[in-house]
Each structure stands twice: as structure tokens, then as C-alpha cells.
Amino acid sequence: MALKEYYKRSDPIRELAAGMLHACDESMYQEYGTAFDAGVWEQQDKGPWLARAIVYKSQVELHRDNNDLGLSLSFACGHFTGGAMLFPELGLKLAYNPGDVILSYAGRLSHKVTTWKPTAYYPAGITPGRIGTVFFFPKHSLQKLCGKPPGWGLDTGYGRYDCSSQYKPGQSGVVVEEHWEDSDSDLIER
């Protein structure tokens, strides 16, 4: 229930983010959208990114998101000072305040958020601090979902079922007659 509510309430932000991806790289938007339709887990989520990360009031050190493929989108909200985004390999320091959005190849470029500090207690009762959100597509998921029809993930247990003789695209809840394929799905990074 909480997850559905999260997707419902964050949908206007997701819609803006999707529009930004479409404007920056239409072919990647199409590729993500097709793979998303094949792999979406929660129907309330509308994509095109298959994954989201919420960084709740944590400092983020220099790293590269090695399991991400293509463009990621990130933004911060909250009540804080500092917290610029650094891309050392490019010599870039970008403003990363509430309302700023960064589209980047986070799987290819090392990046970090500089030290931030919470501001004084906000009068509306909201605890101060920085909350970052990242929309991304794990590369193993994109590779697995590429070329799959809409609904494939739910219909096949994300490739765990051997249902080639029974599978019909878009038919959710396929019943498989006692043949489990014993394979590890790469759909979700563990």
C-alpha cells in the first residue's frame, strides 16, 4: 500500500523526469520505455526508469554507479546548505540545490555530493536535511529486458519460468505446468 502511494504521489515528478530524458535522448527514452514495459513490477509506476534510489540525509562520497546503464536523473530536496555535485573527471562542480536536476552517465563518471549541512529547524515541522532521489536503469535488467514484450517480467517470473509453449505477450499471470527453470534472474541486483 505504501509503495503504491509513493508512486502515486511522486508521479508528477516522474513525469517531468521522463520528459527531460525524452528531450535529451529520445532513442534512450524509447529503449528504457520498452524495457520498462517488459519489466515493470508495480503497475502504479509509469517509468521509463526501472529503478529509483532515495538517499535519505546521508553524505555521498566519490563513487561510480557501475551497475547503471545510460542516463540517470537525480535531484535533491529538503532544507540544507552546500551539497554541490562534483564530476572530477570532467572538472565540473554543479549546483545541486532543491529544484536542480542532473542528468548524467553515473555508471561511466565518478561523482560525489559535497558536504552539506542541515539548516535550522523548519517551522512547518519538517526536519531539516537533504534527500536525494535518483532514477536509473540497472544494466543487467536492461540487457535482460531488451526485446521482451510488455508484461514479460510478471508473466514469466522474470525469466524463471520455462513457459515458451504457453506464453502469450501481455497475458499476466500465466500458469506454468510444473516446469520451473532453475536459473538466477539478473533482473534485480542483490
DSSP string for 122-189: PTTSPPPEEEEEEEE-BHHHHHHHTTPPTTHHHHHTTTTB--TTT--TT-TT----S-B------SS-
Could you tell me the pLDDT band of residue 2, with boundaries at 50, 70 and 90?
confident
Phi, then psi, of 142 in degrees rounded to 5: -60, -40
For each of the domains in the chain, give its residue range(s) and CATH number, in order of start: 2-145 (3.60.130.30), 151-190 (no CATH)
Tell me the whole-structure pTM to 2 decimals.
Answer: 0.80
User: What single letter denotes the amino acid at residue 187?
Assistant: L
The whole-angstrom distance between residue 181's C-alpha and the CA centroid of its chain comes to 28
Could you tell me the pLDDT band of residue 175, with boundaries at 50, 70 and 90?
very low
* Cα-only R_g, the chain: 19
Tell me: pLDDT of 182 over 80.
Answer: no
Query: What are residue 63's DSSP bridge partners?
Result: 111
Residue-wise pLDDT tens digits, 56-98: 998 989 999 999 989 999 999 988 999 999 999 999 999 999 9
Sign for the CA dihedral angle at 20, 51, 77, 97 comes to negative
Query: What are residue 7's DSSP bridge partners?
Result: none
